[in-house]
Amino acid sequence: MINLIVKGRYAMAGLEAGAFSAHRLRAGYLTEAARQGIGLPEAMRQSQHRSVQQAAGYCNAAEPTHGRATRLGR
């Protein structure tokens, strides 16, 4: 259902709807949350991922130099 809404909105914007999906929104959210230093448990509550392993895969794609933990040694 959500996927159809996302694709419909992209089509309304004149973009190729086949290149976008609801999955990409969730994955992008977790990646950006990691970049901004938001902890995985908090981000998972928002994204409603149930699998830590799956959610962590998206967070691992974020640059590790942007998180709060990287600033501890400075």
Local mean pLDDT, 10-residue blocks, the chain (74 residues): 84 84 83 88 90 84 59 60
**Can you give the pLDDT at residue 19?**
77
pTM of the model: 0.62
**Can you give the pLDDT at residue 45?**
93
SS (H, E, C) the chain: CHHHHHHHHHHHCCCCHHHCCHHHHHHHHHHHHHHCCCCHHHHHHHHCCCCHHHHHHHHHCCCCCCCHHHHCCC
Hey, where are the domains in the chain?
Answer: 24-74
